[in-house]
Copies of this chain bind each other. A is one copy, B any other.
Amino acid sequence: MIDPRPGVSSTEEISLDELQLAARNHGMPLEALRYDVTPIGMHYLLTHFDIPNADAATWTVEVGGRVERPLVLGMDDLRARPFVTTVVTMECAGNGRARLHPRPVSQPWLSEAVGTAEWTGTPLRPILQEAGLEADAVEIVFTGADHGIQGDAEQDYERSLGVAEALRDDVLLAFEINGQPLPPQHGFPVRLLVPGWYGMTSVKWLTRMTAVTEPFEGYQMDAYRLRQREGEPGTPVTRMQPRALMIPPGFPEFLTRVRIVDAGRVLLQGRAWSGVAPIERVECSTDGGASWAGATLGPMPPSLYAWRSWTFGWDATPGEHELAARATDGTGSTQPVDQPWNHHGLSNNMVQRVPVRVR
């Protein structure tokens, strides 16, 4: 069956277009949930177009638009500024997309488009203050060097952020990850970092910041909206919804990735996060979501926007089981067991399901 809606597929199978994206981009293997900070190379990665060939020696970030004193900052300027280091969990807004029916056609994430890094950078607010942000500016447009065509629009990747969010004291221009200069694929030499928001906001390979007096209507602002059908106005995708993920227990079968677990006491472990409010509760199900019981939350994470560990003891009995976990954040928002479908498969936090075979 071909779904009549453009941009979605009702077949289970993945197209060559989607595979090309999956081969370039990559998720975090879920066993990496064991690390407080995700090692470089295991953090999820999505590049819209190409990873630019950047030269830090000549790289500049322009600050312009509605500012009194336009700035051009080189990497030496940025690195000479006060810096902070913060642990932040980042998730792709399309995470979970390939589990939806019908399936929105784009990068086909299952549930692994996440990672937590220790980012080092200089706060954005003092830079905007030095430039003298005009009172009528409502948004800052962030432009990256990643160039291509999407939705028939040739573009440098660009996203905007409202002035109030851009002036938050934890928004950074980041130039290090896990104590090292950014590798090319994570935005070398400098990227925006907006803790709490899905990854599309943290523009990589930052070249320009432009203060504007009207909401920015570039392609990527339209693309990241929640709508049921193409053409609807929809609502913008912003902060990460609560999600818990589990380290798949036992060991896998190569092709199916079904997990084999020995009967007896099994300590299920994972992480949970939300960009809206701290994680308040994680529950597990060992019967495919029919019943739920509370997991034990680990220590408070090192920052408001870092994931929190959790554990759950399970008495595994021989047979086939489906494990699941769900998180609830401080606003009372809980992950749905059924799919929260939308046209682009964005901001979708349906619970993860882990089939296991206990022997």
A interface residue numbers (CB < 8 A to B):
11-27, 29, 31-32, 34-35, 39-43, 45, 47-51, 53, 98, 105-106, 108-110, 112, 147-151, 154, 183-186, 248, 251-257, 260
Contacts and interface: CB of A to CB of B under 8 A. Distances in A.
Nearest to A110: B23
A14 B17 contact: no
A200 to B, nearest CB: 13
Tell me the number of copies of this protein: 2
20 contacts: A11-B13, A12-B16, A13-B14, A14-B15, A17-B255, A21-B255, A23-B27, A23-B110, A24-B29, A29-B47, A29-B51, A39-B184, A41-B41, A41-B45, A42-B184, A48-B254, A50-B248, A148-B252, A148-B253, A150-B254
Nearest to A255: B17
Contacts of A15: 12-14
A23 B257 CA distance: 12
A260 to B, nearest CB: 6
Nearest to A28: B24
B105 A29 contact: no
A31 B14 contact: no
B24 A50 contact: no
B39 A252 contact: no
A207 to B, nearest CB: 15
A40 B42 contact: no
A146 B80 CA distance: 44
Contacts of A31: 50-51, 53
A149 B12 CA distance: 25
B19 A183 contact: no
A48 B29 CA distance: 12
Contacts of A19: 14, 19, 22, 98, 108, 110
A3 to B, nearest CB: 14
B260 A149 contact: yes
Given A39-B184, A48-B254, 19 more contacts: A12-B15, A13-B13, A13-B15, A14-B16, A19-B22, A20-B110, A22-B23, A24-B112, A29-B47, A29-B50, A29-B51, A31-B51, A39-B185, A40-B183, A41-B183, A42-B184, A42-B185, A148-B253, A149-B260
